[in-house]
Amino acid sequence: MKLFGFASVTERSLFLDLLKVSGVGPKLALKALSGMRHQEFAGALEAGDAARLSKVPGVGLKTAQKIILALQGKLILEEGATGASATGELIASLAEMGFDRRQVEKVIKDLENDPGLVGLDPAERERKLFQLALVRLSAG
């Protein structure tokens, strides 16, 4: 049994995301996190910069490309939050369903001012926003 500790929820989240990549185990994920700050890692990942990721000890070019392919657009980092906001959780849920994170963020931003959501209690508003976003993302 092994125990892993992290300085922040964001680092833990990135570690868990890295474990989802084929060929990346706990040791390599820890090396990747210790090789550069999580913000730098996420930036290189979103930019598709395999050369920068491969500079991390233990991460070769092919592994960097696998990481980019598996996680680009799907990375969920909640900066300094112990609990995500309702909108953040909604975006995270839709991204985990396989939708492109950037597209999800755009759709949610567009729908937040929808007249049909005005006056609803927070739980009902979140449920309705999820439904509308799911319909829009599935359609196009």
H/E element, 60: none
Please report whether residue 100 resides in a domain. Answer: yes
Domain boundary among 18, 37, 71: 71
Q: Is 105 within the bounds of a domain?
A: yes
Tell me, yes or no, whether 63 and 106 share the same domain: no
Tell me which residue range forms the domain holding 50: 9-71
Q: pTM of the predicted model, to two decimals?
A: 0.53
pLDDT (tens digit per residue) in 42-69? 888 888 899 998 888 888 899 989 999 8
Has residue 79 been placed in a domain?
A: no
